Chains A and B, each alone.
Chain A
């Protein structure tokens, strides 16, 4: 039997395939995309395969950062009242020419309007273009309430009129659901009576164009020759869908792929030691927390919450639950996010002091529930184990813990109740890199009875984040968020537990790869050394 090494494979490609010198990068991805139109979906796996390679957005995240930079819009202006966003579009941007579509015109304002109107307007012919489609991210980011209207000023200018000032608006437009579609392609599909192909044979303006997808097996792309930001160094991009983490590791070590997603923490040492491989790492844009119900006694007393926070041994949790793939959290936002306040001091682990504080607060023989999620999430790989460790920690300060759990959908629903009994383990992964997306969503007064699982409505904090939502000056916003984190720490509605660390093992031949703090996997700007 022959050895399956990449060298042999490349040699074979040159000999048999007649594609001498074509650079092919193979990525062992963790799952199948749900479809190739990113807007109806919310899963990262789907975005990695659709929005990232195939599409561009008006504005984009600078590779490796959460900074928003021009994309298909060259520039934009915000009116003084913060209600009008006017985007100047980039001229000469080409859509992909594929086997199934040949564009006759460049990107223009019609494409922008088509992209958003189909999500906004219930009576738009593309609002439900295939059975059971809905626009969940667009809805989740409150875009239907936010966008009053969209106006085509001229072919290369588009204006968004908002119902209220919203500073994170530009960051929202860098998100995957805002991927710009080709109206010309959609019109052709509609004329051919094949609307649902929009979700199966995508056409965009992104760095790579779609070639083929074999369900649950392989996705193939090739570099877009006329990409507006320059043709990519690699010619072909292949996603080898490999759901099991151990198998991905084996494929990477056998040279069957160059980059693999989500390794098992337990395999990291082997991967780091393997010749020809390197492991990149970065903090994930997430936070795992324990939210007290601040509306129920005795957890309505910040002193009690603070005492319990001091009883939690975070290091033990990082070791046992994250196996090194985590970092202790002191703030509700992750360190990679702008406005992260490093001056905040974490509550020290001090069971003795905690015990004393509980006594001072008049709490004795406290028994409480801790909710453990039934699923594995990036911000909490094993909630049950985490709950057990917390149970043990709390018992040392005289607090008895009962661990409860529900089916995931039910867990998320029940934990929203304002009269919920117990503290909830949960977490959040950021959408657009804006602190508002953590602080307002998870801790704002509007979120009580919903995403604000601590049921915490603290006026001074809420005023700050509401103000930060409407001022557009970045320095002023930063200051407001930094102060808000101080208030959060004093009030302790959560025990902030950890931010995950994301690892990315890859061949040393891969150059220029940058880990995305937003958690996506992007292959634009990546090259393969000979």
Chain B
């Protein structure tokens, strides 16, 4: 009973913290695109130019001739009523644009984080248990390289090698153009299965390989390093030494006793990678022609599509906030000390 009340209080506290964060995010999202020099009308007109009268007309039509605070409160009002406005470019509602593209980013991010976790944790454990060995040095050296890898260059390198020279994987896109079915969930792996078309799932999967590796590289490096250092901490603890002394098999000590405790900070790290993934998605999606929100945001920024940028940033921030909240709550669940 006591712990349930505690849990509830903790939950309310965390959610309460979200309110000022959310307001901060709305200001940042609104302000960011307006701080950049240039405006959407001039960029749209290009060399052809636009007469001063026409310019005024268009600015008025878009509502950008009004004071900034009015525009901001409009934006807030829109959020409250669930309307983020329409893109200046496609003229479609921002919500529609976001939810059309978000599943692609989510699918890729989930694959990347699974890839990074499945490879990163064993690599970190291996490095920690053989501390100082050539294996440790190799793992940590590779992690450092992976962490500093310029994503664009890395993606192109993999494409040239695996798609160009070896022809093992397709170059870009989400599925072979042969397969054509309407999106149901927006997740290509699921939709390809639902379509019932033979070979569609394999095609979708093969298209995921390279982008997953590219997007997962930095989180993989971070997770491997975090696992190693957490493991090293735990391996020095009394209870681990006791377990060893009791004659338990080393694999059991490491797998059951040490790793379980070492995982707590690792889970937090994984949660924090969500923000990194969404940032990395911009480049990864651009290289692999992956129709997700990263590429959409980049295009929108270049075109000074104010509603798309402010709405898109807000939605991305909300996703990150929700994931962080869930991670916090999970963490509170695992580690009762946090709740106080």
Contact = CB atoms under 8 A, between A and B. Distances in A.
A5 B42 CA distance: 44
Nearest to A217: B291
A132 B163 contact: no
Contacts of A100: none
B50 to A, nearest CB: 8
B172 A409 contact: no
Given A9-B176, A132-B91, A247 B47 contact: no
A442 B159 CA distance: 44
Given A212-B180, A217-B174, A247-B159, A130 B167 contact: no
Interface SS, B side: loop
B296 interface: yes
B43 A408 contact: yes
A24 to B, nearest CB: 8
A406 B86 CA distance: 29
Contacts of B299: 31-32
A35 B91 contact: yes
B48 A140 contact: yes
Interface in A1-43: 1, 3-5, 9, 12-13, 16-17, 24, 26, 31-32, 34-35, 40, 42
Contacts of A215: 97, 100-101, 291
A240 B91 contact: no
A81 B173 CA distance: 56
Nearest to B304: A409
Interface in A248-306: 250-251, 253-254, 256
A220 interface: yes
Nearest to B91: A130
Contacts of A427: 47
A294 B45 CA distance: 25
Interface in B153-185: 156, 159-160, 163-164, 167-174, 176-178, 180, 182-183
B39 interface: yes
Interface of A: 1, 3-5, 9, 12-13, 16-17, 24, 26, 31-32, 34-35, 40, 42, 130-134, 136, 139-140, 196, 199-200, 212, 214-218, 220, 238, 240-244, 246-247, 250-251, 253-254, 256, 377, 406-410, 412-413, 416, 426-429, 450-451
A256 B43 contact: no
Given A42-B46, A247-B159, A1 B168 contact: yes
B295 interface: yes
A140 B58 CA distance: 14
Contact of A216 (B88, B182, B296, B304): B296
A268 to B, nearest CB: 17
A247 B49 contact: no
B289 A242 contact: yes
Contacts of B47: 377, 412, 426-429, 451
Contact of A247 (B46, B62, B88, B287): B287
B26 to A, nearest CB: 21
B246 interface: no
Interface in B249-302: 286-289, 291-292, 295-296, 299
A132 B42 contact: no
B171 A254 contact: yes
B108 to A, nearest CB: 13
Contacts of B182: 212
B337 interface: no
Contacts of A31: 299
A131 B171 contact: no
Given A1-B168, A247-B159, A254-B164, A407 B178 contact: no
Contacts of B101: 215-216
29 contacts: A1-B168, A1-B206, A3-B167, A16-B197, A17-B178, A32-B299, A130-B91, A131-B86, A131-B91, A132-B62, A132-B88, A132-B91, A133-B91, A140-B48, A140-B50, A199-B90, A216-B291, A216-B295, A217-B289, A242-B172, A242-B289, A243-B295, A246-B156, A250-B164, A256-B173, A412-B47, A412-B49, A428-B47, A429-B47
B173 A409 contact: no
B12 interface: no
Contact of B90 (A16, A35, A412): A35
B8 interface: no
B149 interface: no
Contacts of A253: 164
A416 B286 contact: no
B44 interface: yes
Nearest to B292: A216
Given A256-B171, A412-B45, 7 more contacts: A42-B45, A134-B58, A214-B291, A220-B180, A243-B286, A410-B37, A410-B38
Contacts of B335: none
B9 to A, nearest CB: 44
Contacts of A32: 299
Contacts of A450: 49, 51
Given A215-B101, A240-B173, A247-B288, A136 B45 contact: yes
B177 A218 contact: yes
B86 A409 contact: no
Nearest to A32: B299
B244 interface: no
A240 B177 contact: yes
Interface string B72-115: 00000000000001101111100001001100000000000000
A217 B173 contact: yes
B289 A241 contact: yes
Contacts of B62: 132
